[in-house]
Amino acid sequence: MPDMSHAPTLEELSEDARAYLHVGDIEAAVAVLLEGLRSDQSDETRAGATKAVNNLCLSLWTAGDLGGGARAARAVLSEIVPSEDTPAESRFLDGYVAALAETGTTPLAPRRVARHRHLLRLFEGVVNGLEGDIAECGCARGLSSFQLCAAFRTAHPQWQGETFHVFDSFQGLSAPGD
């Protein structure tokens, strides 16, 4: 009989997750890795599980399995990110996960989810009254740009992106000058 008196180690969780992935059961692999994110785990195990979940999603997306990566990301986000159980929240998470997949962004940064949820609510609150171009300064992988464009396109179905501009130096901000 297995020893259930200790929390599983990161190595044990990773081995189990790999076994599930080997047979194509992404949801079970994610469930095992979520076990490593529980608060009764060591900091090392939680950090390793976070990295493993992010790597799993990124590897699925890199391999072209956007659906598998999206299912994994959605399962993780549903488990660890506080959210309301509403159709609007479900649409947000679906859009957020799609944007993660399209931009190859890791899913586990729970504070980022809250920031993006707030950004979209603010943007959607003004999107119908906007005239002129839209610019985002600082885009990293383009996650928020992708989401803002999707939101604008929902409000303006004929829009093709011609008035959306993204600026990024990829090196940080330059020193202030005259």
Q: Dump pLDDT digits (tens) for 35-67.
A: 887 767 888 888 888 888 888 888 887 887 877
- Over range 64-80, report the average pLDDT: 79
Q: What are phi and psi of 77, to 5 degrees?
A: -65, -40
Span 117-128, pLDDT tens digits? 899 888 888 877
- Give the predicted TM-score (pTM) of the model: 0.73
How many alpha carbons lie under 13 Å from residue 134 in its C-beta half-sphere?
21
Instruction: Kindly report the average pLDDT of the chain as a whole number.
Output: 82
Rounded distance between C-alpha atoms, residue 157 and residue 7, angstroms: 51
Span 99-145, pLDDT tens digits? 888 888 888 777 788 888 899 888 888 877 767 888 888 888 889 99
